[in-house]
A = this chain, B = another copy of it.
């Protein structure tokens, strides 16, 4: 490859071509333009490119004559590999990256095209939003978010450095791993949670309304992402099929253990005889009397404790367990604001906040998460101001 030395003519590394001006492409354009980069915008839809231009994300590619130093392909997942191959061919001196949320399959497809793999470095800025399109773009979309740089084995070190610099320039927390490591990671922390949320929510479809009405905060949290777009998730899951399948197979093995334990308990534990489940039938060799079965259930929940405790805290530092302070809040405009005003006055920083709602009653419970050392002072301060507090 031919990455120029710093300072060589106009090739200063700050000429960026963005192909695909949806949410990610347009946000990147806004962020880079604000930092003095020269951004050229290209999109299969001229209207979409013009909108991104009007929002301040850069110039239209047709109005830019310089060759780009860096090309960012932010096209839909199912065309990414093809577009990357085209861009590598069209700009023989440029480094090319993409922002697809799955990395191995893009690289595999590029290998098959015979593309110049030294100049290709995949990346994945983890900064989606629930809305899409340039109209939802924001210059600070990447600020503080993880940005994974995932070079293949043939990637040139200077190309890797160029893509890392891109993520750092827009304020992201850049980390580097292989495409396989990336795909295994997002399978476990993103794709499998999506499948689980969708399947749990799907079980509500045929439930009586009186049963669904018993839904509490637990299932609301577990299924929040079940509202996601099926078309988008079909593309993501299909692109990462082997890695998602590997995690789901392990999860199914755990699930089968739980099912076996429940079967043993349903058949052997009740005074009324066999369980009421019509599908009930003993598995040969299932634990008798529920002793081993209870241990299986306890282990499944305990292993969940262990895994959950590994999820990092808000600042990406070592995993942190927060203390919670629960405060009764009237369900009226301004009540939560008064509470948080008082929290702020106490000089205590909120790490997280959950509102818990009752059914048909004008009162809610705000669960404030704070660093453990702040729990007692916060409880005392709020109680002194007349809030009903439970820590």
Contacts and interface: CB of A to CB of B under 8 A. Distances in A.
B300 A195 contact: yes
A209 to B, nearest CB: 8
Nearest to A315: B360
Contact of A272 (B108, B188, B218, B311): B108
Contact of A202 (B219, B304, B336): B304
A4 interface: no
Interface residues on A, range: 35 or more
A55 interface: no
B293 A238 contact: yes
A312 B358 CA distance: 11
Contact of A204 (B129, B188, B259, B324): B188
A182 B129 CA distance: 37
A116 B13 CA distance: 84
A193 interface: yes
A337 B334 contact: no
Interface centre among A144, A277, A301 (most CB of B within 10 A): A301
Contact of A353 (B218, B324, B353): B353
A219 B224 CA distance: 10
Interface string A198-217: 11111111011111111110
A252 interface: yes
Interface stretch (A38-46, A56-64, A157-165, A263-271): A263-271
B246 A279 contact: yes
Contacts of A335: 344
Nearest to A343: B337
B219 A237 contact: no
Given A171-B361, A230-B299, 5 more contacts: A140-B363, A196-B199, A199-B255, A215-B312, A314-B331
A79 to B, nearest CB: 14
Interface in A6-62: none
Interface string A337-378: 111111111111110110101111111100000000000000
A144 B358 contact: yes
A152 B175 CA distance: 59
Contact of A297 (B234, B246, B301): B234
Nearest to A213: B312
Interface string A289-319: 0100110011111111111111110111100
